[in-house]
């Protein structure tokens, strides 16, 4: 008998379709990466109320926080910043609600880029609103002028972490498509990777079934075995939790 596939919720972004009508969506490689790893991706619309999210939550075996626009700095105690863009009150509310619900229930979650930042904020951490201004560096973190799979810099993986076990490498070449980053890491989290300038590039929730986030975009790097294994191990953790 075949094992059922775990149902994994993917957060969406507000956008406009080709007819300029309001829509929710994601880059398709997120969903394809989950499917290729053996999971069933489910897109979560942003308009759901807290009660609706609580009703949906028991059916989800895992949660993938995708990339997208910036988080409202007021959520981590900072005033608005002129470089912040793409704010969505609905998305901030929904993702923080689900991060806290998943952690309370001990269910697996994976954050990518914005998702990495949301998890940190949801647990009490803070961000650099604009790295070029607040964290000057020779490393270029915002490479939107390149293809999304452009390998922008290396990250150093901390030995003995879950991420190190999953990627099975000490360093990895990654893409980089962000202008914000982790400033203060939430106390519950442990850093697992750094960029050459010291910026935190990944973290995990220790002693947890699977709670991990990366600042780069592994869904765009599926030609590399370590990045495929990141999704494979996430889906496997969701399968195990689902029973």
Annotated active-site residue in 113, 129, 153, 220: 113
Active-site residue, selected from the candidate residues 178, 217, 220, 238: 217
Question: Catalytic site residue 204?
Answer: no
Residue 5, SS3?
coil
Active-site residue, 217 included: yes
* Dist CA 200 CA 238 (whole Å): 25
Residues 199, 200, 205, CA angle at the centre, nearest 5°?
Answer: 170
113 labelled catalytic: yes
Whole-angstrom distance, CA of residue 182 vs CA of residue 71: 12
Check if the beta carbon of residue 120 is closer than 8 Å to that of residue 182. Answer: yes
DSSP H helices in 24-137: 28-36, 50-56, 89-105, 114-122, 131-134
189: alpha, beta or left? (left if phi > 0; alpha if psi -120 to 50):
beta
Catalytic residue among 95, 201, 204, 219: 219
As annotated, the active-site residues are 113, 217, 219
């Amino acid at each position: 008998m075949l094992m059922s596939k775990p149902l994994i919720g993917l957060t969406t972004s507000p956008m406009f379709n080709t007819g300029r009508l309001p829509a929710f969506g994601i880059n398709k490689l997120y969903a394809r990466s989950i499917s290729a790893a053996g999971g069933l991706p489910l897109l979560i619309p942003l308009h759901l109320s807290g009660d609706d999210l609580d009703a949906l939550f028991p059916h989800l075996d895992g949660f993938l926080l995708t990339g997208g626009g910036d988080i409202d700095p007021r959520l981590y105690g900072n005033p608005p910043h002129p470089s912040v863009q793409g704010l969505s009150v609905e998305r901030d509310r929904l993702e923080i609600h689900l991060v806290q619900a998943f952690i309370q229930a001990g269910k697996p979650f994976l954050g990518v880029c914005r998702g990495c930042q949301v998890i940190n904020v949801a647990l009490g951490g803070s961000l650099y609103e604009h790295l070029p201004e607040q964290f000057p560096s020779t490393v270029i973190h915002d490479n939107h002028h390149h293809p999304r799979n452009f390998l922008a810099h290396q990250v150093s993986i901390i030995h003995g972490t879950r991420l190190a076990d999953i990627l099975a490498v000490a360093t990895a070449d990654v893409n980089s498509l962000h202008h914000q980053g982790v400033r203060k890491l939430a106390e519950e989290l442990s850093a697992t990777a750094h960029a050459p300038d010291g910026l935190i590039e990944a973290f995990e929730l220790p002693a947890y079934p699977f709670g991990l986030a990366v600042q780069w975009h592994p869904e765009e790097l599926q030609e590399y075995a370590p990045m495929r294994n990141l999704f494979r191990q996430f889906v496997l953790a969701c399968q195990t939790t689902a029973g």
